[in-house]
Amino acid sequence: MSAPAKHVVAEDESGSRIDVVVARVSGASRAIVADAIERGHVTLNGAAVKRSTAVEAGDALSYALTPREELVATPQAIPLDIVFEDDELLVVNKPAGMVTHPAHGARDGTLVNALAAHVANLPGDALRPGLIHRLDRDTSGLLAVAKTDRSLRILGKAMMRHAIEREYLGLVLNVPEQPEGTIEGAIGRDEHNRHKYAIRAEGRPAVTHYLLRETLNGAAELSFRLETGRTHQIRVHMAAFGLPIVNDPIYGRRDPRVHLPGQALHAWRLRFRHPVTGAPLEFEASPTPAYVAAREALRA
């Protein structure tokens, strides 16, 4: 890491967020600046700050930024649970604990690394080739992957017009007052924690439908149908509704009866039309043994 750079806040910068000012004067991305702030490599008048800290004219900024290493989705011979495959697409059952695509903090061992070894020259973004949608690391279940540019384009449009039906199973703490319902709430990044999302007026519209499947002991199993696919959508909506997903490490809390590494959420069903033939396709993947064991524990 290079020696810290210095900057004195000008009059026209007064009132701005510190991450915005440092990004502007350094030319670095907001992500790099945010990372430096979290590491304590950005100070204001000698003191550590938050990203949202406002600066005033005359304040002394000090910052040392480390460029992030370039990410590459290298092929890795990792076993895949393939539910369906033809020349145009495949559907895989992702295990809990596997990151969908490379990111800082998870450079390899991801689903995309495994896909790159299984299918040469997947179409689309270099770090997200073939992906039509994504799942959180600890969410297990079904994912559709395009193998050709044609299928990626057609399925991408189908996703945008909500023509790909996704249904999830989840265990939640508490029991909903109504056996079924719809939660609408725009979702955006949490202004206090860049690793979280929240319902925010300026966020992107999000709609989640839920249905009670079973009442458990101080908990319940629900099924969820998504109209939109925002990051952490089910987890954010249910937490805001007073029904956090069991063992959610970000939006809920751990239940001592349950032994799961993360949230009890499983992408159960997937329905869409084949991008070339138009034939209806429907897939179902049973919950993982760990999820089933968690459900049994909550029945006791």
Which segment of 126-130, 149-153, 162-166 scores lowest on mean pLDDT? 126-130
Query: How far is it, in rounded angstroms, from Cα 200 to Cα 298?
Result: 32
Query: How far is it, in rounded angstroms, from Cα 82 to Cα 278?
Result: 21
Would you state the torsion angle of the CA atoms of residues 22, 23, 26, 31, taken in this order, to the nearest 10 degrees?
110
pLDDT band at 291 (very low <50, low <70, confident <90, very high): very high
DSSP label of 120 = T
The reported pTM is: 0.78
Q: Pairing state of beta strands 140-146 and 265-273? A: parallel
The pLDDT of residue 265 is above 90: yes
DSSP label of 69 = P
* Catalytic (active site) residue 108: no
> What pLDDT shows up at residue 1?
54
**For 56-98, how does the pLDDT look when each residue is reduced to its tens digit (9 = 90+)?**
999 999 998 877 666 677 899 999 999 999 999 999 999 999 9
Mean pLDDT of all residues belonging to the chain: 91
Report, as an integer, the average pLDDT of 116-141.
92
Q: What is the domain partition of the chain in residue ranges?
A: 5-63, 82-299
Domains 5-63 and 82-299 share a fold: no
Alpha helix (H) residue ranges in the chain: 18-26, 30-38, 111-118, 149-160, 233-240, 289-299
Q: Which of 136, 138, 248, 255 is the catalytic position?
A: 136
Integer-rounded Cα Rg, in Å, for the chain is: 22
At 22, phi and psi to the nearest 5? -65, -40
Comparing CA positions, the residue from 158, 168, 275 lying closest to residue 225 is: 168
Comparing CA positions, the residue from 182, 173, 189, 185 lying closest to residue 265 is: 173
The pLDDT of residue 286 is above 90: yes
The pLDDT of residue 290 is above 90: yes
Query: How far is it, in rounded angstroms, from Cα 48 to Cα 300?
Result: 48
The pLDDT of residue 214 is above 80: yes
End-to-end CA distance of the chain: 54
At 145, phi and psi to the nearest 5? -135, 130
> What pLDDT shows up at residue 71?
67
Report, as an integer, the average pLDDT of 232-261.
93
> What pLDDT shows up at residue 159?
92
Tell me the CATH architecture of domain 5-63.
Roll (3.10)
Comparing CA positions, the residue from 259, 196, 263 lying closest to residue 224 is: 263
One DSSP character per residue, 162-186 reads T-SEEEEEEEEES--SSSEEEEE--
Tell me the CATH architecture of domain 82-299.
2-Layer Sandwich (3.30)
**For 13-58, how does the pLDDT look when each residue is reduced to its tens digit (9 = 90+)?**
899 999 999 988 888 888 788 888 988 899 999 998 988 899 999 9
The pLDDT of residue 199 is above 80: yes
Contact predicate 211/184, CB 8 Å: no
Give bridge partners of residue 85 from the DSSP assignment.
Answer: 90
> What pLDDT shows up at residue 108?
79
What is the helix, strand, coil percentage profile of the chain, to 5?
20, 30, 50
Report, as an integer, the average pLDDT of 88-113.
87
Query: How far is it, in rounded angstroms, from Cα 28 to Cα 227?
Result: 36
